[in-house]
Structure 1
Amino acid sequence: MTHRDANRGDASRDLRSRQKAALETPTALGAQATRDVSGALNAVLADIFALYLKTKNFHWHMSGPHFRDYHLLLDEQGQQIFAMTDDMAERVRKIGGTTLRSIGHIAKLQRIPDNDADFVDPQDMLAELRDDNGALAARMREAHSICDEQGDVASASLLENWIDETERRVWFLFEAGRRGNA
C-alpha cells in the first residue's frame, strides 16, 4: 500500500466518521423531551409542507368567475404557510432533534391528504383547504400539549401564533366559500 492509498483510506474513514457523528445540539430539555417534541413538530411540519403544496396546487389551477380573488387569497395563504417551515424545522434543531430530510420523509409523516385530481371545483378547493387547515390547527394543539408536558415553552409559544394564523385561514376560506343569495 502506498502512502497515497493510506491517506485516501484515512480520509475515507474520517468522512464516514463525520457523516455518522450525532448532531449534538446543546439543550436544557432531556432526551425524552427532545424525542417527543421533535417527533410532534416534525409530524406537524410534514403536514405544513403537504398543505403548502396543496394550497399552491389549487392556486395554480383555480378557475371560474372568482378566479382573481381566490387566486390571490391562495397565494397569500401559501406564503403564510411556507413561512412556518423554516422556523419550525429550526426549532426542532434548537432542541437537539433532527428534522425532515426529503419529500419521501414528508410523505411518511404527513396526515394532510394530497389532491392529485385533474380538476377540482373552486368551491370544493376552498372547502378542502378549510378542512385541512382546521385539521392542521388541531394537530398543532396536540403538539402544543406535548410541548407543555415536556416544559418546552418556546415551542409552545411558536405553536400558539401558528394556531392563530391557521384559524384565520380557516375563517377566510369559510367566508370566501359561502354562496350568496344571487
Structure 2
Amino acid sequence: MYTTSHVNLPQDAREELIDMLNTLLANAIDLHWQVKQAHWNIRGTHFISRHLLFDDVAKHVRKHADTYAERAGALGGYAQGTIRLASNNSQLPEYDLQAVDGDAHVRALVERVARYAASLRDGIQRSGDQNDPITADLLTQTLGETEEDLWFLESHLNGDARPGITPTRGGNRRGRPAEDVSQVST
C-alpha cells in the first residue's frame, strides 16, 4: 500500500484490486499507443474514416487509463503508469509492424481491443469477488465504451460476417422472420 485509505474494504482486497487496476492501466497505456501507431500509419481506402476512428478509440483508452490510475489511488495504491512500466506490465501483444494497409491495421486493432475488453470482463468479475461494486461499475462502464469501439472497428472488415447469419428485414439474428406480436392475444 502506498497511502492510507479509508475505503471500507479489507487491506488484502484493496491490494489485489490495486494490482488489477495497475495491470489494466498498463494495458490501456499500451493500447493507446498501439492505436496511435495505426492512426499515424494508416493508408489506403477509407483513410479518413479510419484515421478519425482510430483517434477516437485512442482518446477513449487514454481516458480509461486515467480512471484506473485514480481508482488505484483512491484505494491507497500507487499508479504505475510510466511508459516503461506499462510496456513491462501490459498483457497485450506487441503491435504488428507489418500492418501497412488499412485492413491489416484494423485486424491488428480488433485483436488488441478484444483482448483489452476481455481483461475488463475479468476485472469486473474480480471486483465482484472482492465486494467492490465501485470498481466493478467503473469497469462495466468502460467495457460498454470499449465494446462499442470494437464494433466500430469490426464494421470496417468487409466480408467477415459470421457464417449462418443472414440479415433479413424484420428478422432475428438467425435470419428467421420475427414473430408478429400484433396477432398475439393477451
TM range (shorter): 0.7 to 0.9
Structure 2 CA distance, aligned partners of 1:118 and 1:133? 18
Paired AA for residue 111 in structure 2: D
| Correspondence for 1:130 | 110
Structure 2 CA distance, aligned partners of 1:125 and 1:71? 10
Equivalence map 1:25-174=2 (5 Å): 25-115=5-95, 117=97, 120-174=100-154
Paired AA for residue 92 in structure 1: A
1:65 offset after TM fit, Å?
2.2
Give secondary structure in 2 for the equivalent of 1:117.
coil
Give secondary structure in 2 for the equivalent of 1:156.
helix
Unaligned runs of 5+ in 1: 1-20
Choose between structure 1 and 2: higher helix proportion.
1
Q: What's the CA shift string for 1:56-76, capped at 9, x where partnerless?
A: 110011111211111011111
> CA RMSD for the aligned pairs?
1.8
Matched residue count? 160
Structure 2 CA distance, aligned partners of 1:25 and 1:176? 45
For the 8 Å contact 2:43–2:100, the answer to whether it is kept is no
For the 8 Å contact 2:69–2:79, the answer to whether it is kept is yes
Give secondary structure in 2 for the equivalent of 1:167.
helix
For the 8 Å contact 2:117–2:147, the answer to whether it is kept is yes
Q: What's the CA shift string for 1:118-149, capped at 9, x where partnerless?
A: 65221011011111111111111111111111
Paired AA for residue 151 in structure 2: W
Give secondary structure in 2 for the equivalent of 1:45.
helix
Q: Percent identity?
A: 27
Verify: 1:177 aligned to 2:165, yes or no.
no
Q: TM-score, normalised by structure 1?
A: 0.82
Q: What's the CA shift string for 1:129-181, capped at 9, x where partnerless?
A: 1111111111111111111111111000010011111111111111112259x
| Correspondence for 1:24 | 4
Structure 1 CA distance, aligned partners of 2:143 and 2:158? 23
Structure 2 CA distance, aligned partners of 1:178 and 1:172? 12
Radius of gyration: which is bigger? 1
